[in-house]
Chains A and B, each alone.
Chain A
Amino acid sequence: MSGAPASPPTSPAANGTANGAANGALRRRRLPRQLVIGGTIVGAIVLLAILAPWIAPYSYDAFDIPNRLKGPSAANWLGTDEFGRDVLSRVMVGAGLSLSMGFGATAISLAFGVPLGLMAAYFRGLAEEAIMRTIDVLISVPPIMLGLLVLAVSDPSLWKTMLAVGIIYVPIMTRLSRSVALGLMEEEFIQAARARGAGARWILFHELLPNAWPPIIVESSLRVTFAILLASALSFLGLGPQPPSSDWGLMIAEARQFLDDAPWIAMGPGIALCVLLIGINLVGDGLREVLDPRLKKRGAA
């Protein structure tokens, strides 16, 4: 998890000399089962989200008052909500919102966290102190409080939720990429680059970054899950996309009033959210199996 220190990074040099080459070829032949299953689930949801405007049976915000609060039927597979809107269509359109908030927030945390972490590791001294102490403060705020604070300042919207969640996870990315880069800084290929007089920018982005990726990718896949969970929780609290948007968190919040008469309104988005999160978790575990050098050595333990 995030608290665990980064795995000892393998340098290309160390990998190449020993059994790295043969091992790598073997590894690539068969993908872990989790990765295949998870990838299929996530891929299917992404596809649904992209195609939603064309294949959704109804518009996500089309009222049909005579047919309100109807249970699942041939016409409305997942039933209709309090305005007669088709729950299935809304869930399909909402998938795009959840996905973009999760992946968008993770991208934001990567975009800020990774450069900061690499710079802290490379420059050391005052720059490192300044970056890491700021991170210490940011990380001491409970994630949800930071989200509530950011969103309290202005009117909520999808973009702000994404940004808030992204900022919340910057510290974790910074810490991780710093510890990975610190390990790499000791490696010969960095010292070689320094000896040939390579500039800071070159070393940061052409030497450190390409070699720091594996643990960062594994962590990012975990972050996507947490980002989706946090973003949809904020949106559930009314601090995300606003009605008539069909974000899953918001849909579940709105469905609470009708739990007794029309439980299906909450079930559609809720189950979709669970399936998506399980899929992403599977992908994360699969990625870790492929990329984490520690797990490789231990085998199928």
Chain B
Amino acid sequence: MIGYLIQRLLTVAGILVVMSLLVFGITQVMPGSVAHMILGEFATNDQIAALEQTLGLNDPWHVQYWRWASGFLVGDFGQSLTMQRPIAPLILDALGRSAALAGLSFGFVAVIGLWLGILGAVKAGRFTDHALAIGQYFFIAVPEFFWCIVLIMLFATTLGWLPATGYAPMSDGFWRWLSHMVLPVGTLVTGLIAHVSRLTRSAMLEVLQSTYVSAARAKGLPERTVLWRHALPNALLPAITVLAVDVGILFGGIVVVEVVFAYPGLGRMIVYAIENKDLPLMQAGVLIVTAIYTMANLVADLLYAWANPRIRYGRSVA
């Protein structure tokens, strides 16, 4: 297990190095120079040349890369071009708010998704199962950016129960904060719950038909024990893989949801950076998101290895 962990951590480090090169490379191929963007359209060539000199834009690319990447390692992400402020604190704040959104959503998805999946498998072929299946079909197909508009029209415009957009910090009071979280989280979770529950159901069904479940039943164990102690742990394996894939979908959803609900998170900041050609901000944002995503995948892999004896023992021997 330790060997496996080290191997995986090295892979993650490698991936991040390659990604940083890729993200940095974008600056090099992007049309127009950074100096040009800072100074605006009416800058003279002399001004641009002077600024390029001070910013070190004439250095060879590997010198520039090293300057950028080494700053990154010590938490100096550079200056935002449009906001004229250091990027690190900007991103840190936004990241915290995005994490609240993601964490809340992921918790709901894991708990409700698994539960509905088990329910569907236990009631297979009956009314509950059919109703769930129809719901899953529908909610998997609704894109987040349309679903949040529907929710806004329903709960904000028509019923007036919740604020349509915006964000309130916890310091404004818990209920105010919560009221701003309901619709974004609600948008994010529906599709993913449908996805997770559908796959949990089929994994669970497969396990329930296996011989060892029959054996457990034949032994006279109560159905509840069979379900939770014998069937569920094995059905969880594929569910973990699915949850890991869903982290990627969740990231995409968060970007859209933050933009629509004007939620000041990292996703909206990256879209802002792209729209305004704020390169340093975009680079930092994309790299941070990639790092988090890679970590999330690592955690999923480790969970999978931990839950799957075949990997747990197979790899540690090798």
Say yes or no: is B94 at the interface (Cβ < 8 Å to chain A).
Answer: no
* Contact assessment for A274 and B271 in the assembled complex, using a CB-CB cutoff below 8 Å: no
Q: Which residues of B contact A141 (CB under 8 A)?
A: 19, 290, 293
Say yes or no: is A140 at the interface (Cβ < 8 Å to chain B).
Answer: yes
* Contact assessment for B143 and A140 in the assembled complex, using a CB-CB cutoff below 8 Å: no
The answer for the CA separation of A137 and B297 in the assembled complex, in Å, is 12
Q: Which residues of B contact A143 (CB under 8 A)?
A: 248-249, 251-252
Say yes or no: is B232 at the interface (Cβ < 8 Å to chain A).
Answer: no
Which A residues from 1 to 35 make CB contacts under 8 A with B? 1-4
| Chain A positions 143 through 158: 1 when the CB is less than 8 Å from some CB of chain B, otherwise 0 | 1110011011110000
Q: CB < 8 Å: which of B124, B141, B199 contacts A278?
A: B141
Which B residues from 1 to 48 make CB contacts under 8 A with A? 11, 14-15, 18-19, 22-23, 26, 29-31
Q: Which residues of A contact B19 (CB under 8 A)?
A: 137, 140-141
CB B203 to nearest CB in A, in angstroms, measures: 9
Chain A residue nearest to B286 in the complex (CB)? A145
CB A297 to nearest CB in B, in angstroms, measures: 11
The answer for the CA separation of A154 and B26 in the assembled complex, in Å, is 10
How many residues of chain B are within 8 Å of chain A by beta carbon? 54
Say yes or no: is B90 at the interface (Cβ < 8 Å to chain A).
Answer: no
* Contact assessment for A256 and B149 in the assembled complex, using a CB-CB cutoff below 8 Å: yes
Chain A residue nearest to B254 in the complex (CB)? A144
* Contact assessment for B271 and A237 in the assembled complex, using a CB-CB cutoff below 8 Å: yes
Say yes or no: is B225 at the interface (Cβ < 8 Å to chain A).
Answer: no
* Contact assessment for A149 and B241 in the assembled complex, using a CB-CB cutoff below 8 Å: no
Say yes or no: is A230 at the interface (Cβ < 8 Å to chain B).
Answer: yes
Say yes or no: is A270 at the interface (Cβ < 8 Å to chain B).
Answer: yes
Q: Which residues of A contact B205 (CB under 8 A)?
A: 301
* Contact assessment for B18 and A154 in the assembled complex, using a CB-CB cutoff below 8 Å: no
Chain A residue nearest to B199 in the complex (CB)? A1
* Contact assessment for A145 and B289 in the assembled complex, using a CB-CB cutoff below 8 Å: yes
Q: Which residues of A contact B18 (CB under 8 A)?
A: 137
Stretch of B72-80, B81-89, B150-158, B166-174 on the interface side: B150-158
Say yes or no: is A89 at the interface (Cβ < 8 Å to chain B).
Answer: no
Say yes or no: is B215 at the interface (Cβ < 8 Å to chain A).
Answer: no
Which A residues from 23 to 57 make CB contacts under 8 A with B? none
Q: Which residues of A contact B143 (CB under 8 A)?
A: 229, 232-233, 236, 249, 270, 273-274, 277
The answer for the CA separation of A173 and B138 in the assembled complex, in Å, is 26
Chain A residue nearest to B143 in the complex (CB)? A229
Say yes or no: is A220 at the interface (Cβ < 8 Å to chain B).
Answer: no
* Contact assessment for B252 and A142 in the assembled complex, using a CB-CB cutoff below 8 Å: yes
Using A4-B241, A137-B15, A270-B146 as known contacts, list a sample of 8 further A-B pairs with CB atoms less than 8 Å apart, ordered by residue number in A: A1-B245, A3-B244, A140-B294, A145-B270, A145-B293, A153-B30, A236-B256, A237-B259
10 contacts between A and B (CB under 8 A): A137-B18, A143-B248, A143-B251, A148-B255, A152-B26, A152-B282, A232-B143, A249-B143, A259-B157, A266-B146
Q: Lowest 6 A-B CB distances belong to which pairs?
A: A144-B252, A277-B141, A3-B241, A270-B146, A142-B251, A278-B141
Residues of A within 8 A of B (CB): 1-4, 136-137, 140-145, 148-149, 151-154, 225, 229-230, 232-233, 236-239, 249, 252-253, 255-256, 259-260, 263, 266, 270, 273-274, 277-278, 281-282, 298, 301
